[in-house]
Amino acid sequence: MLPVEIGTRRLLLDLPVPADADAVTRYCQDPLFERYLTTPWPYTSSDAEAFLSGYVPAGWASEAELTWAIRAERGGLLLGMISVREAQHEIGFWMGDEHRGAGYMSEAADAVCAWVLAGGVPGATTVFWRAVEGNLGSAKVARSAGFRRIEPDDATVPTRDGGTLPAWYGVRESEPDPRAEASWNGILGARA
Ligand SMILES: CC(C)(COP(=O)(O)OP(=O)(O)OC[C@H]1O[C@@H](n2cnc3c(N)ncnc32)[C@H](O)[C@@H]1OP(=O)(O)O)[C@@H](O)C(=O)NCCC(=O)NCCS
């Protein structure tokens, strides 16, 4: 598939490019990434270059993983990254430290899910989310992006060293589920 751009109210999601390497390197050195993501640790500029020049374009070409840069405008600074994997249409994301708390990831995740479910990924009827148990920021994004929490037995997420950790799971369906918002109350409490 050729890379696709998605516009939202405040954001442009487009192809991550080699010129984003410095920003990716800096953002991915955040200690939260060691705890919650499977990105290399410690993270170096070579990791960013391999990701942007190899992994991202290969993922679009094979459709194994579609990855977008999150920006405020065309050609603008990279704010964060979001992707959808072919396997289970699983969404993954991170936002650069200084850009958090503005609702950007909720806006980006909602837009990517809407695109996937509107035929962007042919045949997709659900988008899947999971995070290491305790990742409240990620769970709040999932809630805001219309996911419903699900609690399968043995819910786990892979770690970078090949192990697994207990995980929270969620699913977003083509038709918004009226029980979605309340399904998060057990871990996030009711929204103020
Ligand atoms: C999770 C993450 C992507 C959120 O990005 P963001 O742009 O700040 O998200 P939003 O501004 O849309 O915030 C969504 C909600 O999460 C809350 N939030 C954001 N980061 C948080 C954190 N670290 N801890 C607790 N709450 C957090 C916001 O206050 C907001 O709350 P609300 O829904 O009650 O309004 C960002 O914190 C991040 O990159 N974390 C490290 C990487 C990571 O864990 N990725 C997900 C892996 S599954």
pLDDT (tens digit per residue) in 132-152: 999 999 999 999 999 999 999
Per the domain annotation, does 116 fall within a domain?
yes
**With a 6 A CB cut-off, is 78 part of the ligand 1 pocket?**
no
Per the domain annotation, does 67 fall within a domain?
yes
How many residues make up the chain in this entry? 192
d(CA 184, CA 14): 30
Per the domain annotation, does 113 fall within a domain?
yes
**Residue 1, CA distances (Å) to 52, 83, 140 in order:** 17, 14, 31
pLDDT (tens digit per residue) in 56-107: 999 999 999 999 999 999 999 999 999 999 999 999 999 999 999 999 999 9
Atom of ligand 1 nearest to the CA of 95: 39
Integer distance in angstroms from the first to the last C-alpha of the chain?
A: 41
pLDDT for residue 192 is more than 90? no
Q: Where are the alpha helices (DSSP H) in the chain?
A: 21-27, 31-36, 45-50, 56-62, 104-115, 136-144, 185-188
pLDDT (tens digit per residue) in 151-169: 999 999 999 999 999 999 9
With cut-offs at 50, 70 and 90, classify the pLDDT of residue 122: very high
Per the domain annotation, does 45 fall within a domain?
yes
- Average pLDDT score over residue span 36-50: 98
pLDDT the model gives residue 176: 80
Domain that holds residue 151: 6-188
In the chain, how many domains are there?
1
Per the domain annotation, does 87 fall within a domain?
yes
pLDDT for residue 36 is more than 90? yes
Per the domain annotation, does 1 fall within a domain?
no
Among 141, 168, 191, which residue has the most ligand 1 atoms within 8 Å of its CB, making it the best to mutate?
Answer: 141
On the question of a cis peptide bond just before residue 42, with omega within 30 degrees of 0, the verdict is yes
Closest Cα to atom 36 of ligand 1: 95
- Average pLDDT score over residue span 40-59: 98
Per the domain annotation, does 165 fall within a domain?
yes
CA angle 123, 38, 191 (to 5 degrees): 70
pLDDT the model gives residue 181: 96
Per the domain annotation, does 140 fall within a domain?
yes
Domain of 131, CATH number, reads: 3.40.630.30
pLDDT the model gives residue 74: 93
d(CA 155, CA 132): 10
pLDDT for residue 191 is more than 90? no
